[in-house]
Amino acid sequence: MDQELSKRRGETAAHSRLKRLAFLWAQAQGYTAGALEVSLPHCRYRADVAAYRPGTGTATAIFECKQARPDLRRDNCATPETRQRLETVHRRRQILEKHLRIHYPTLRIADSLFPEFDSHNFAAIGHRNYTRVLRELNSLHHRLYDCTKFETIVRYRCANLFFLVVPEELYREPDIPVGWGALTEADGELIIARKPSWHDTTEECRLRFLQRIAAAGTRLLNRELKITFDEVETVRRRASL
């Protein structure tokens, strides 16, 4: 099963194994409805595993599986710290550009009707510090706007509980996002390394979450049964006649 999932989704066997273990663990905890690769409400992200537990202890849970540290850090941006660093580096860029305009007046490009709005080709001189500042700015922008998955799905209260699933050797307490729990894998089993915080959601949100799980499950079953969208449309048109 792991190999089939890996080939179909273009993921590694290790990542597929973690998803399988998370799906198994969720069912063992009473989450009787679940699916892989579930599109989450209110945001553009997908959950590796989403699960729903009915009954008096109704709960929704999201599991994100990370097999390597770079994979983990890519989605785990601490926004306040990153924004503060971005402001610091941006001020550094302004100071550098101010001095470069004075010392290298030939860098000015006359591309505006007003000289004070002319741009400057600072990259032309290959200034080491300026190049380093630009590189860090690009990195911070990428991290701030493209690497906030963990923080975003908590802020939008996409579920009641959030779990990060990692190999035992990858687990480090500082790397676990705020409000998330951690499940570590060792010898083919998952154990709780850190309990998650509870996040209240409305009944409407839980119902929408369950609908997303059902839709993901339907897509998977369609692939297994080789049912295409065109086939569904053909049957629908015939039924409407």
Q: 6: exposed, middle or buried (C-beta count within 10 Å: 0-12, 13-18, 19+)?
A: middle
Lowest mean pLDDT among 52-56, 64-68, 77-81, 110-114: 110-114
Q: Please report, for the chain, how many H helices and E strands are present, in that order.
A: 8, 8
Share the mean pLDDT of the chain: 83
Q: Tell me the per-residue pLDDT of 91-109, one tens digit each, with 9 for 90 and over.
A: 888 888 888 877 777 766 5
40: DSSP letter: P
- pLDDT beyond 70 at 116: no
Question: pLDDT-derived band of residue 141, with 50, 70 and 90 as boundaries?
Answer: low
Of 206 and 101, the one with more pLDDT? 206
What's residue 227's pLDDT?
A: 94
Please write down the long-range contacts of 171-177, taking CB distance under 8 Å and 24 or more positions apart.
175/69, 175/72, 175/73, 175/76, 177/76, 177/150, 177/151
Using pLDDT thresholds of 50, 70 and 90, give the confidence band for residue 111: very low
Phi, psi of 66 (to 5 degrees): -130, 125
**What band does 89 get if pLDDT is binned at 50, 70 and 90?**
confident
At 117 the pLDDT is: 44
Cross-strand pairs, 50: 35, 62
pLDDT of residue 108: 63
**pLDDT tens, 16-59?**
999 999 999 999 999 999 999 999 988 888 999 999 999 888 99
**Nearest CA to 64 among 222, 143, 170?**
170
* Sheet strands side by side (includes 33-39): 33-39, 46-53, 59-65, 161-167, 181-186, 189-194
Can you tell me which residue has the tokens 């470069």? 100
pLDDT at 113 over 90: no
